[in-house]
C-alpha cells in the first residue's frame, strides 16, 4: 500500500488559510432541520416491521422454541430463531458473535434475543411475539465479576478455560489473565519514601447515544443483500455478517446512515443480522428499530471494573514503582479490549518499574462494547486518585507532581512504543497557567485535577477525491462521521487544493464503493481519512499539473501548483497565465477525462494524546448531592483542524464522564433482570446538570501528519471521573473509591467519615 507518512510534508511554518478555523458543518443544516436520515429513517416499498423476542432470564437453557402459532397469525411474514442461523462453533469469535445476535444453547442475559418476527405492522409483530413459546430451564446467574470469579460461581460456558494461565483445565468464567510490566517493582517500592495503595470499583455505563440502533435489510431472489443502518463500522459489519451468515462480502452492500451518536457502541451489530435473516425468509424488506428498553437491556455498556492500585514515590516526587491488579467485566462474551487498560493507565508518567495483572471475566449481563478510550477511564479513576494523594502527602502541587514524572520524547512505553514529540508537559504547563487553576478555590468547594492518555489510532483507510467540471470537489469517505470528521477532512482537502471549503462536499460511501475501512474508533478517523484524502488531493494536483503542462505544451515538471493554480515552475518555462482548478477542469473532456485522486493506506504515525482536567465541586453535606461548579479541559490536539469540533469533543467527553462519575448505574434485581432500562431511571446528566465546560487547546504538532493533528475523541473522558472524585475528596475530607458517586453512596461516605472523626 502506498504511504505518504515518510514524506507527510508537515511544515510548521506553512501559513494555513482553512485549517484551524471553524466553518459551518456541511451536514449541519440537515441535522438542525431534521432532514438528516438516521438508521430508522429509511422506508422501502413493501417494508415489514421486525420485532425481537428477548429472554426474560439472565441465564437459562433454551429447551425448545415453538414458532408455529406466531407464523399463523395473519400479517406475519416471517418468524426466525436460532434454527435460522448457520451453526458456528461456540467459543470462536464468529461463534460468540452469532450467539450474541441470537441465543442458541442458552440465554445469557436479560434481553438476549431468542426469536424475531417480521409483520405488516408493529402491533401485529408484537402480538406475534406473544405467540412464540420458549421453554427455558432457568439456571443460577451471576452479575458481578468478582462473584463470577469465585470457585462456586455459576459457569456461563463449559468450554471456557483461562487464557494466560498454565495448565488451566477447569471450567471458569475468567476468560484471560494478562500480565504486563517493566523493570522491578519490588526494588522500586524499596526506594519509595511514600507508598499509597487503594482499591477502586467502577460500574458499567451505557454509551447513551440518542439514536437507538435502527436498520433496514432488503434481499433479492438471487441473494444480494442491502443493509441500511446506523454504524461506526460498515466494512467490519459486512465482513462479520459475511462470516456468521455465510454470505460472500460482494453480496452484502451496507450503506451507513447518519450517526445519531455511537461513542463506540455502534462498532458491533445487534439487530442487523436479525433483519437480514427475516428479510431473506420473508422476501420483503424488513426494518428493525430498537426501543430504548432494548438498547439498555441488550446493547453494549462499558466494562465495570475492580482495581487495586499501588504507587510509591520519593519525597522529591519521583515515582519509583507502580503496581495494579485489574478485573474487567465483559458480559457473556469476551471482547472488552481490557488490555488497553494496563497499557495506558500509567502511560504519561516516565515510569521504570511497573507491574500489572489484569483479568477479563464473563457474567450474565449484556456484552460490553467500546466506549471512548475503551477500559481506560475506569482504571484512571483509581490511578489519578492515588497520584493526587501522593502529591498531597509529600506536600507537592498535584500538577507539579505530574510534571516531575511526565514522560517526554524518547520515553519507551510499557507497550513498546517509544514516544516521538508529545505534549504532556505542555498540557500540564497550560493547565497551571489557565484562569481556572490560578483562581483560588471558592469557599465551601473542592478542586480536583486528573490527567489522561490515549494512544490514538490509525489503520486501514480508503478514500477518493473527484474534481468536478466546474472545479468543485467531492469526497467519497468510508469511515463513519461520528463527530464532525466530514467537515474537518473537507477542510484539509480545501487547504491542499487552495479552494474555499464550501466548494468541497463529502459523501459517505457504501461498502461496494470503497475498499476496506477500519471502524471509526480510537480517535482515528479525522487523522487517518484526513491522511488518505490529503494523499488523494496531492495525486489530483499532480494530475492537474500534467493537464496544464499538456495545455501549455511543456513538460509536467515545468508546472507547479500553488494556492489553487497551476503555474509555470520558472521564468524559462514560458509566459503562461496561471490556470485555476476550474479552468483545467473545464477542459477535461479535451484532455484525458475526469481528474481524481484515490488512496488507500494502512495509516500509522498517530500521535498520542494527553489531557488534564480541572474541576470544582460543591457537595450538599446533608444529602450527598454533588454540584459541578466549574470544569476545564486542557488537552493537546496536535493541531486543531476545526476548532469548534475539537472543543466539542473536549466538552462531550467531560459531560459523559460527569454522568459516569455521579449517577449512571445499572440496577439489577435479584432475578438478574434490569430494573432501570430507560433514561428516566438510568440517570444520564441533563443539560442543566453540567456547567459550561471550558476548554484549552494545546497544539504540539504530530510531525507524522501533514497538518500535525492528533486524535481528540478519547482523551477527554479519560480523567473525568478521577478529577471529580479528587474534587469531592477535597470537599468532604475523604476521596470516594467507588462509582457512581451518587447521593446515597456519598452521604454514607460523609456520615461514616464524620463518625470516625
Partner 1 sequence: MRSGGVTRVDVRYEAPETLQAAVALLASAGEPAKILAGGTDVIVQMETDLIEPALLVDIKKIPELRQIVAENGGFRIGAAVPGLTIMDHAALAKTWPGVLDGVKLIGSIQVRGRASIGGNLCNGSPAADSVPPLIAAGAIARIIGSKGTREVPVEKIPTAPGKTSLAKDEIIASFFLPPRAPHSGDAYQRFTPRTEMDIAVVGVGINLTLDSSGTCTAARVVLGAVAPTVLLSKECADALIGTKVDAAALDKLAAAASAACRPIDDKRGTKEYRIKIAGVLAKRTAQQALEVARKN
Note the residues at the interface with partner 1 (CB under 8 A): 73-75, 123-124, 126-127, 130, 291, 293, 622-623, 625, 662-663, 667, 675-676, 678-681, 683, 685-686, 688-689, 742-744, 747
Pick the closer one to partner 1 by CB: 26 or 126. 126
Least CB distance to partner 1 at residue 74 (A): 6
What is the rounded CA–CA span in Å between residue 734 and residue 142?
A: 31
Q: Which is nearer to partner 1, 223 or 669 (CB)?
A: 669
Q: How far is the CB of 626 from partner 1 (least distance, A)?
A: 9
C-alpha cell at 94: 464468529
Sequence-distant (6+) residues with CB within 8 A of 317 are: 391, 394, 396, 400, 401, 404, 405
| Closer residue to partner 1, CB minimum distance, 124 or 217 | 124
Report the b/e string of 355-365 with b at 16+ CB within 10 A.
bbbbbbbbbbb
Buried b (16+ CB within 10 A) or exposed e, 531-558: bbbbbbbbbbbebbbbbbbbbbebeeeb
Residue 215 C-beta: closest distance to partner 1, Å: 20
412: DSSP letter:
B
Instruction: Kindly state the smallest distance separating residue 622's Cβ from partner 1, in Å.
Output: 5
**Rounded Cα–Cα distance for residues 493 and 510 (Å):** 21
Q: How far is the CB of 292 from partner 1 (least distance, A)?
A: 8
User: Which is nearer to partner 1, 442 or 744 (by Cβ)?
Assistant: 744
Please state the closest distance from residue 261 (CB atom) to partner 1, in A.
Answer: 18
Give residues with Cβ within 8 angstroms of 191, minimum separation 6.
Answer: 312, 314, 320, 321
- With respect to partner 1, which residue has the nearer C-beta, 26 or 292? 292
Report CA torsion sign: 53, 59, 62, 63.
negative
CB-nearer residue toward partner 1: 117 or 160: 117
- Between 123 and 220, name the residue whose CB sits nearer to partner 1: 123
Dihedral sign for Cα 125, 128, 133, 139, please: positive
Q: What share of the chain is helix, strand, coil (3-state, %, to 5)?
A: 30, 25, 45
**In this structure, are residues 204 and 655 in contact, taking their beta carbons and an 8 Å threshold?**
no
Residue whose CB is less far from partner 1, 220 or 291:
291
197/751 with CB nearer partner 1: 751
> Where are the extended beta strands (E) located within 553-674?
559-562, 565-568, 579-580, 595-603, 609-619, 626-636
| 357 vs 377: CA distance, rounded Å | 17
Question: Minimum distance between the CB of residue 428 and partner 1, rounded to whole angstroms?
Answer: 33
Q: Which is nearer to partner 1, 37 or 745 (CB)?
A: 745
Q: How far is the CB of 377 from partner 1 (least distance, A)?
A: 20
Taking the complex as a whole, the smallest distance from the CB of residue 211 to partner 1 amounts, in Å, to 17
- Give dist(CA 673, CA 667) in Å, integer: 8
By three-state DSSP, how is residue 49 classified?
strand
Query: If DSSP codes are grouped into helix, strand and coil, which group holds residue 141?
Result: coil
CB of 743 to partner 1, least distance (A): 6
Peptide bond between residue 165 and the one before it cis (omega within 30 degrees of 0): no
What radius of gyration do the chain's Cα atoms show? Answer: 27
Longest dimension (CA), the chain: 91
Amino acid at each position: 500500500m502506498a504511504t505518504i507518512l515518510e514524506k507527510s510534508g508537515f511544515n510548521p511554518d506553512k501559513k494555513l488559510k482553512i485549517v484551524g478555523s471553524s466553518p459551518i458543518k456541511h451536514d449541519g443544516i440537515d441535522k438542525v432541520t431534521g432532514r438528516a436520515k438516521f438508521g430508522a429513517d429509511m422506508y422501502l416499498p413493501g417494508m415489514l416491521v421486525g420485532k425481537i423476542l428477548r429472554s426474560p432470564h439472565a441465564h437459562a437453557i433454551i429447551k425448545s422454541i415453538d414458532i408455529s402459532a406466531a407464523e399463523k397469525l395473519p400479517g406475519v411474514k416471517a418468524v426466525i430463531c436460532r434454527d435460522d442461523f448457520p451453526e458456528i462453533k461456540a467459543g470462536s469469535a464468529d461463534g460468540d458473535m452469532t450467539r450474541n445476535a441470537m441465543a442458541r444453547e442458552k440465554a445469557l442475559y436479560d434481553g438476549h434475543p431468542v426469536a424475531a418476527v417480521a409483520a405488516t405492522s408493529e402491533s401485529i409483530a408484537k402480538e406475534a411475539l406473544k405467540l412464540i413459546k420458549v421453554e427455558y430451564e432457568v439456571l443460577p446467574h451471576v452479575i458481578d465479576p468478582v462473584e463470577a470469579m469465585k470457585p462456586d460461581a455459576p459457569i456461563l460456558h463449559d468450554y471456557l478455560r483461562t487464557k494466560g494461565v498454565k495448565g488451566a483445565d477447569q471450567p471458569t468464567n475468567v476468560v484471560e489473565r494478562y500480565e504486563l510490566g517493566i523493570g522491578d517493582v519490588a526494588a522500586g517500592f524499596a526506594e519509595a519514601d511514600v507508598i499509597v495503595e487503594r482499591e477502586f470499583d467502577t460500574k458499567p455505563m451505557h454509551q447513551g447515544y440518542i439514536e437507538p440502533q435502527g436498520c433496514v435489510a432488503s434481499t433479492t431472489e438471487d441473494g444480494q443483500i442491502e443493509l441500511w443502518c446506523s454504524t461506526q463500522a460498515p466494512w467490519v459489519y459486512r465482513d462479520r455478517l459475511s462470516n456468521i451468515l455465510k454470505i460472500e462480502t460482494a453480496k452484502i452492500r451496507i450503506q451507513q446512515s447518519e450517526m445519531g451518536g455511537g461513542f463506540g457502541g455502534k462498532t458491533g451489530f445487534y439487530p442487523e443480522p436479525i433483519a437480514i435473516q427475516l428479510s431473506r425468509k420473508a422476501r420483503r424488506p424488513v426494518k428493525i428499530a430498537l426501543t430504548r428498553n432494548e438498547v439498555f437491556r441488550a446493547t453494549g455498556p462499558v466494562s465495570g471494573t475492580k482495581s487495586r492500585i499501588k504507587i510509591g514515590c520519593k519525597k522529591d516526587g519521583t515515582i519509583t514503582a507502580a503496581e495494579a491488579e485489574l478485573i474487567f467485566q465483559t458480559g457473556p462474551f469476551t471482547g472488552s479490549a481490557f488490555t488497553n487498560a494496563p497499557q495506558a493507565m500509567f502511560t504519561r508518567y516516565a515510569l521504570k518499574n511497573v507491574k500489572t495483572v489484569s483479568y477479563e471475566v464473563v457474567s450474565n449481563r449484556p456484552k460490553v462494547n467500546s466506549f471512548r478510550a475503551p477500559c481506560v477511564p475506569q482504571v484512571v479513576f483509581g490511578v489519578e486518585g492515588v497520584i493526587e494523594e501522593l502529591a498531597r502527602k509529600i506536600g507537592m502541587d498535584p500538577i507539579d507532581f505530574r510534571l516531575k514524572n511526565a514522560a517526554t520524547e524518547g520515553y519507551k512505553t510499557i507497550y513498546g512504543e517509544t514516544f516521538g514529540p508529545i505534549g504532556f508537559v505542555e498540557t500540564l504547563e497550560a493547565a497551571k497557567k489557565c484562569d481556572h487553576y490560578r483562581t483560588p478555590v471558592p469557599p465551601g468547594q473542592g478542586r480536583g485535577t486528573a490527567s489522561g492518555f490515549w494512544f490514538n489510532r490509525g489503520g486501514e483507510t480508503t478514500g477518493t477525491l473527484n474534481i468536478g467540471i466546474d472545479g468543485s470537489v467531492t469526497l467519497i469517505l468510508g469511515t463513519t462521521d461520528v463527530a464532525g470528521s466530514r467537515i474537518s477532512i473537507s477542510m484539509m482537502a480545501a487547504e491542499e487544493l487552495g479552494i474555499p471549503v464550501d466548494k468541497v462536499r463529502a459523501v459517505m460511501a457504501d461498502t461496494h464503493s470503497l475498499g476496506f475501512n477500519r471502524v471509526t474508533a480510537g480517535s482515528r478517523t479525522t487523522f487517518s481519512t484526513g491522511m488518505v484524502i490529503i494523499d488523494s488531493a496531492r495525486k489530483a494536483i499532480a494530475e492537474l499539473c500534467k493537464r496544464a503542462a499538456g495545455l501549455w505544451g511543456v513538460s509536467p515538471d515545468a508546472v507547479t501548483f500553488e494556492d489553487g493554480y497551476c503555474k509555470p515552475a520558472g521564468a524559462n518555462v514560458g509566459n503562461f497565465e496561471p490556470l485555476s482548478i476550474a479552468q483545467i477542469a473545464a477542459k477535461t473532456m479535451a484532455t484525458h477525462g475526469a481528474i481524481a485522486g484515490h488512496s488507500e493506506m494502512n495509516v500509522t504515525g498517530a500521535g498520542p494524546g494527553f489531557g488534564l482536567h480541572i474541576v470544582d465541586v460543591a457537595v450538599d453535606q446533608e444529602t450527598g448531592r454533588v454540584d459541578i461548579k466549574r470544569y476545564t479541559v486542557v488537552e493537546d490536539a496536535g493541531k486543531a483542524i476545526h476548532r469548534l469540533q475539537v472543543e466539542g469533543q473536549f466538552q462531550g467527553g467531560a459531560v459523559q464522564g460527569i454522568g459516569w462519575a455521579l449517577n449512571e448505574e445499572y440496577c439489577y434485581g435479584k432475578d438478574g433482570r434490569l430494573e432501570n432500562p430507560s433514561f428516566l431511571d438510568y440517570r444520564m446528566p441533563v443539560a442543566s446538570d453540567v456547567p459550561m465546560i471550558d476548554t484549552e487547546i494545546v497544539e504540539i504538532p504530530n510531525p507524522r501528519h501533514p497538518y500535525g493533528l492528533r486524535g481528540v475523541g478519547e482523551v477527554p473522558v479519560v480523567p473525568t471521573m478521577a478529577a471529580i472524585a479528587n474534587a469531592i475528596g477535597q470537599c468532604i475530607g475523604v476521596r470516594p473509591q467507588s462509582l457512581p458517586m451518587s447521593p446515597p453512596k456519598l452521604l454514607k461516605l460523609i456520615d461514616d467519615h464524620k463518625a470516625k472523626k
